Amino acid sequence: MMKRLYPTLAEVAKVAGVSLMTASRAINNRPGVSPEKREDILRIADEMGYVANRAAQKLTGARTRIIGVVAELHTPFTSDLLLGMGAVARAADYEMLVYSLPVCDRRPPHSIIDMLRQIADGVIVILPYESDYLESMATAHIPVVTIEQGVESAFPSVTADNYQGGCAALRHLIELGHRRIAFISGNDRLTSARDRRRAYRDVLAQARLPHDPALEVDGDFLRKSGFEAAQKLLALDDRPTAIFAANDTSAYGAIAAIREAGLSVPGDISVVGFDDIPIASQLHPQLTTVRQPLQQMARASVNLLLALIAGLEAPSEQIVLPTQLIVRESTTPLKAKRKKEEAVKVVRASVGTANLAR
């Protein structure tokens, strides 16, 4: 269990010798607390570092009810999450303040961090970024929840079961008869990207299919990287019959490269994505993909943050939600002739591996 970097309201109440409800009333400037007791609770909260928005409270006369969100807005994945978060925040009588991080940056400027410290009750961060500014907000006693987990992130998080989803995608392609399956990775600074890569390798091993490093190309979840990765795969002497892309955006980049090469999807190459963003069912071909429960993730992240803001113990430091394979038009069974050729190659590769082991 992760050690929290900020005091909870329950801890403030314990030090002040009052109930959690009394502490909440005092902090939120609500009736039912004597002036002397309110002042005592506020003094203790300040000393413990619980109240980060005292300046804003003095100016407005009431507690700010703002959730800050730091995100890169150039991805459909993020846009869908924000829509869901906004609805949940409004239902809880909170406003949501979104800071869009430029693609070229990896952390907000100090002015934005200072602003969030002053006006936000808590912050949701959609990774990946450098983690040092998250530490600075936690040190300022602002509750932080992340969507996804980073390599160095140690904050409460909400994510999908990326490993299970990646396994489902690979098994689907294998069941269609594909044996030479390529993988276009995501940003490996995220746990989700590493889990999808691990699923790719594990399922190949479970199916006794050889792992060809040439079929595993690095990407970063962007359309451009998907396009360029597919170009590398198509340039191979023995190109893949199927591609598993780490997200839908890079999958459509791969499809564009396949079409530019005069090939078709799924006639020549099947493609599977990950996320199930809205365009996955709207563009041609409709994309076979792994659905992340984005609305559930949005709801869970806001509810988790609200619990931390209220000083409650989080029910879990990491919430993992199930994924679902959605089969559409971009995958098809391997053609009989190519299927026979692939089977021969697999046998030859297995024999070669056995000979090397002797």
Integer distance in angstroms from the first to the last C-alpha of the chain?
Answer: 47
pLDDT digits (tens, 9 = 90+) for 227-285: 999 999 999 999 999 999 999 999 999 999 999 999 999 999 999 999 999 999 999 99
**Which pLDDT score is estimated for 55?**
43
Q: Are 49 and 141 in contact (CB under 8 A)?
A: yes
What share of the chain has pLDDT > 90, as a percent?
50
pLDDT digits (tens, 9 = 90+) for 121-179: 889 988 765 556 677 776 667 788 999 876 556 788 999 999 999 999 999 999 999 99
Question: What number of helices (H) and strands (E) belong to the chain?
Answer: 13, 12
Q: For the residues 325-348, what does the mean pLDDT come to? A: 75
Q: What does the DSSP assignment read for 26-86?
A: HHTT-SSS-HHHHHHHHHHHHHHT--S-HHHHHHHSS---EEEEEE-TTSHHHHHHHHHHH
Q: What is the pTM of this model?
A: 0.76
**Size of the chain in residues:** 358
User: Which H or E run contains 201?
Assistant: helix 191-206
**Which pLDDT score is estimated for 59?**
42
